[in-house]
DNA sequence: TTGAAAGCGATACCAG
DNA sequence: CTGGTATCGCTTTCAA
């Protein structure tokens, strides 16, 4: 040991990994970091993984399924011990391909199949309750603003969470006896405006797939000089930090990102040890009150 | 090759790295990803590095010098080919220690020493010009709101960029003949309010170390019912995306984050090949006009 | 062109 | 408890 110190010996983790067959590395496959939701989650995961002695290999897909496949191949070659996967791919082949790798995988945001543990919020339930929450504020007409889910589907992309949220909206609407669901896809100002205007005198709210959409709708309302929440109600999803700086404060669906990251890593580590897939974890959520409803 | 395909052969990058002595991996040592500025930059770096065939090992320090030192040690053990370093450490020993590792390092945000290539915006010049820009809008009194630079210094932290920005402010003030610099440290509402109020009838602007501080000052002004930009002018730094959703639109110092990331990776790759430290790159910046001045 | 052997830097087993 | 050796999977060199 004395000689080792004198020669300034440093163990070579590469050789160690090769010999021991484990890299002590976790791969994170994520969309992007521009979105604060993803960035926060990666931030939390890194911290917890590091505490547990694991390193992070980060790969971003920017929504490109090809990049995801390539990224998975890289992670396989690099022999990461586990993967946190925000997937944009979806087909049966992909699921069996992932399964064949024999690498523990935990999915988040989009589910791939029942074969992989999923950690997240029960988006369907959250949106169903959000509809009731909005109705409770006296709105008689509730629109849903989704991303361009149909075209994403056509491109063979994974739209699990978008679909869940939309289904939750539809279910919520049925349960409160409103039978004219209106789903908008993408932020086309014309389309959104005319949908809002066709209200036949009923107070209208718009439930958005995410806070970014909600913020854009708010911008639109300001431009059109519509009063929020008087003329138009707005609700977002994710409760991003940024909302607190925007007036009026947009109501949103929030959850504990730190806890989510914690569970993600815990379950992944569990899977890595026991070699058996763990059960899903559904997080709690809560509505953050604001001035937009 | 046919047999290889049949047996579904996949090269083992770990063994390859060991044999070849290169991991094709770049380490990114960064503060956090909560800050959109850092998150964007990491996002850009990942994309460009991947295009060049390099992988990302991400380590976050959350401003803790101890975590940075540990992180560097990990990256050394893992034999990354190069490091992008957002440093919070600063002392002569640290610089020579890093030098002794023999790993190509490019620094950003905070400079460590002349021995390491630095890529970034000339913050001193930017702030000096910002003072003139503000003065040009008719303000006769300009305050500077910094982070808690003094206490960070005492803790032995690297405050290079904070100091540069502050020095730029001081220099700009001298050059336009204003001789009462007022530097505030940290967002103490009391202190900021009273500094703003002690204006002796002169129109007052507050130049902030970053957009987050600028946004908070705006919040404060709203709470105090001060008119922006009538009573108080505000200017930020970084020109974060978020500003476009906040009214009034805060003026800021912007620059091309994508280009910054591109240069970072390019220079790092250059250093990795030639083995000689490259020269610094100073980015252009521009003032984004808004409604807060 | 092909094949065999030595190394990269650790771990792990087995005899002494 | 110590010291030698095979192994991990690949690159590289050298000989055939």
**Does residue A289 lie in a domain region?**
no
Q: Read off the pLDDT of residues A158-170 as tens digits, 9 standing for 90 and up.
A: 999 999 999 999 9
Q: Do A92 and A154 have their domain in common?
A: no
Q: Do A71 and A170 have their domain in common?
A: no
Sign of CA dihedral A64, A65, A68, A70: negative
Q: Which residues contact A70 (CB under 8 A, 6 or more apart)?
A: none
Average of pLDDT values for B122-130?
Answer: 97
**Does residue A293 lie in a domain region?**
no
Q: Do A95 and A211 have their domain in common?
A: no
Q: Do B175 and B96 have their domain in common?
A: no
Average of pLDDT values for B57-65?
Answer: 97
- Domain that residue A73 falls in: 2-120+257-284
Q: Do A127 and A247 have their domain in common?
A: yes
Query: Is A66 in CB contact (< 8 Å) with chain B?
Result: no
Dist CA A113 CA A128 (whole Å)? 23
CA of B18 to C1' of D16 (A): 29
Q: Do B245 and B265 have their domain in common?
A: no
Coil, strand or helix: which one is B246? coil
**Does residue B273 lie in a domain region?**
yes
Average of pLDDT values for B13-28?
Answer: 95
Report residue A285 CA to chain centroid gap.
13
Exposed/middle/buried for residue B11 (C-beta within 10 Å: 0-12, 13-18, 19+): exposed
Q: Do B34 and A42 touch (CB under 8 A)?
A: no
Dist CA A62 CA A185 (whole Å)? 20
Bases of chain C within 7 A of a CB of the protein: 7-12
Q: Read off the pLDDT of residues A69-112 as tens digits, 9 standing for 90 and up.
A: 999 999 999 999 999 999 999 888 999 999 999 999 999 999 99
* Residue nearest the C1' of D6 (CA based): A19
Q: Do B143 and B59 have their domain in common?
A: no
Residues B75, B57 contacting (CB under 8 angstroms): yes
**Does residue B172 lie in a domain region?**
yes
- pLDDT confidence of residue B2: 74
- pLDDT confidence of residue A184: 98
Q: Do B239 and B266 have their domain in common?
A: no
Q: Do B33 and A11 touch (CB under 8 A)?
A: no
Within 8 A of B74 by CB-CB distance, chain A residues are 13, 55
- pLDDT confidence of residue A8: 83
From the list B18, B23, B43, the residue facing A60 with the nearest CB is B43
Per cent of chain A over pLDDT 70 is 100
Q: Do B130 and B249 have their domain in common?
A: yes
Q: Read off the pLDDT of residues B167-195 as tens digits, 9 standing for 90 and up.
A: 999 999 999 999 889 999 999 999 999 99
**Does residue B290 lie in a domain region?**
no
Sorting pLDDT into bands at 50, 70 and 90, what band is A261? very high
Q: Read off the pLDDT of residues B85-96 as tens digits, 9 standing for 90 and up.
A: 999 998 889 999
Dist CA A270 CA A274 (whole Å)? 6
Q: Read off the pLDDT of residues B193-213 as tens digits, 9 standing for 90 and up.
A: 999 999 888 999 999 999 999
Which of the residue ranges A110-124, B132-146, B216-230, B266-280 would you say has the lowest mean pLDDT?
A: B266-280
**Does residue B293 lie in a domain region?**
no
Q: What is the pTM of this model?
A: 0.95
Residues A113, A95 contacting (CB under 8 angstroms): yes
Q: Do A60 and A165 have their domain in common?
A: no
- State both tokens at A55: 């390193």
**Does residue B292 lie in a domain region?**
no
Question: Would the pLDDT of A11 be above 70?
Answer: yes
B276 touches strand C (CB under 7 A): no
- pLDDT confidence of residue A245: 92
Q: Which residues contact A172 (CB under 8 A, 6 or more apart)?
A: A127, A128, A129, A130, A131, A132
Q: Do B60 and B183 have their domain in common?
A: no
Per cent of chain B over pLDDT 90 is 91
Sorting pLDDT into bands at 50, 70 and 90, what band is B6? confident
Q: Read off the pLDDT of residues A18-77 as tens digits, 9 standing for 90 and up.
A: 999 999 999 999 999 999 999 999 999 999 999 999 999 999 999 999 999 999 999 999
Coil, strand or helix: which one is A209? coil
**Does residue B72 lie in a domain region?**
yes
Q: Do A137 and A63 have their domain in common?
A: no
CA of B189 to C1' of D11 (A): 63
Sorting pLDDT into bands at 50, 70 and 90, what band is B143? very high
Number of domains into which chain A is organized? 2
CB atoms within 10 A of CB A198: 12
CATH of the domain at A278: 3.40.50.2300
Q: Do B47 and A55 touch (CB under 8 A)?
A: no
- pLDDT confidence of residue A1: 65
- State both tokens at B10: 């996949």
Report residue A12 CA to chain centroid gap.
37
């Amino acid at each position: 040991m004395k000689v080792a110190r004198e020669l300034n010996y440093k163990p070579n983790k590469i050789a160690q990994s090769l010999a021991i067959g484990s890299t002590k590395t976790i791969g994170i496959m994520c969309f992007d970091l521009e979105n604060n939701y993803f960035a926060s989650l990666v931030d939390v995961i890194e911290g917890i993984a590091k505490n547990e002695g694991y390193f992070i290999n980060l790969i971003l897909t920017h929504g490109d399924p090809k990049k995801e496949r390539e990224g998975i191949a890289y992670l396989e070659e690099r022999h990461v011990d586990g993967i946190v996967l925000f997937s944009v791919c979806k087909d049966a082949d992909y699921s069996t391909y992932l399964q064949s790798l024999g690498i523990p995988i935990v999915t988040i945001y989009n589910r791939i199949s029942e074969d992989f543990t999923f950690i997240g919020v029960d988006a369907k339930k959250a949106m169903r309750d959000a509809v009731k929450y909005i109705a409770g504020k006296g709105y008689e007409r509730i629109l849903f603003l989704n991303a361009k889910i149909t075209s994403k589907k056509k491109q063979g992309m994974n739209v699990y969470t978008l679909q869940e949220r939309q289904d939750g909206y539809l279910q919520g609407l049925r349960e409160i006896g409103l039978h004219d669901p209106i789903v908008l896809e993408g932020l086309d100002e014309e389309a959104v405006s005319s949908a809002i205007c066709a209200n036949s005198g009923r107070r209208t709210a718009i439930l958005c797939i995410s806070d970014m959409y909600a913020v854009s709708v708010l911008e639109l309302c300001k431009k059109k000089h519509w009063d929020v929440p008087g003329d138009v109600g707005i609700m977002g999803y994710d409760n991003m930090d940024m909302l607190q700086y925007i007036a009026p404060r947009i109501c949103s669906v929030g959850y504990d990102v730190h806890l989510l990251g914690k569970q993600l890593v815990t379950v992944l580590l569990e899977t890595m040890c026991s070699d058996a897939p763990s059960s899903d974890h559904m997080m709690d959520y809560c509505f953050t009150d604001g001035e937009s409803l």
